[in-house]
Amino acid sequence: MDNSYDDLSAISTLVSSLSQNVSDSEEYITKLQSLSKNLVSKDQYEQLSKEADVLTESNNNANDNDEMSIIRKLEEERLSLIMDIQREDFVSSKLIELIDQNQEIIESVKEYLEARESIQEEEAAYTKKQLDIFVNDINTTQSQGKPRFSNVRKLPEGIYRVGPMLLLIM
């Protein structure tokens, strides 16, 4: 009694395992088909599919019961799966390269944004310093009562330098 139960249990386990493997294989084949569609244009894919169907039909009709025919079919399927796996590996490696490149770009942008803030702060400090010097020169000129010739000459130059910097700060 236990022996037949063990046999049934083993058979049940094998059937479950086989069912899962068939399901996994079907999903894998579907995935490979979708990847292969992406590798060639739609017209080429349809043409290749038709050629494969015609070839498969002619092989099926010619020698269905022949052992060599079965071996050839299995070998073709194996080679097809190997090609699909190689395509998938190629696509995967290219995707990994793209991800790495995108990561490098993100890091560069992040570094730029961090550096940009400090550069803007330095530019603002420099502009403030230049503005203070300019205002100090104007105040010095006004406190002396009469403008010195060198200060009057520097006035347009100072305005020219400080004006754009003020616009950046605002």
Mean residue pLDDT of the chain comes to: 78
Annotated domain spans of the chain: 40-169
CB 167 within 8 A of CB 157: no
Residue 26, pLDDT > 60, answer yes
- Tell me the per-residue pLDDT of 56-92, one tens digit each, with 9 for 90 and over: 776 666 555 677 878 888 899 999 899 989 989 888 8
Looking at residues 4-20, what average pLDDT do you find?
Answer: 78
- Rounded to whole angstroms, the Cα distance separating 72 from 63 reads 10
Give the pLDDT of residue 61. Answer: 63
pTM: 0.34
Give the pLDDT of residue 142. Answer: 61
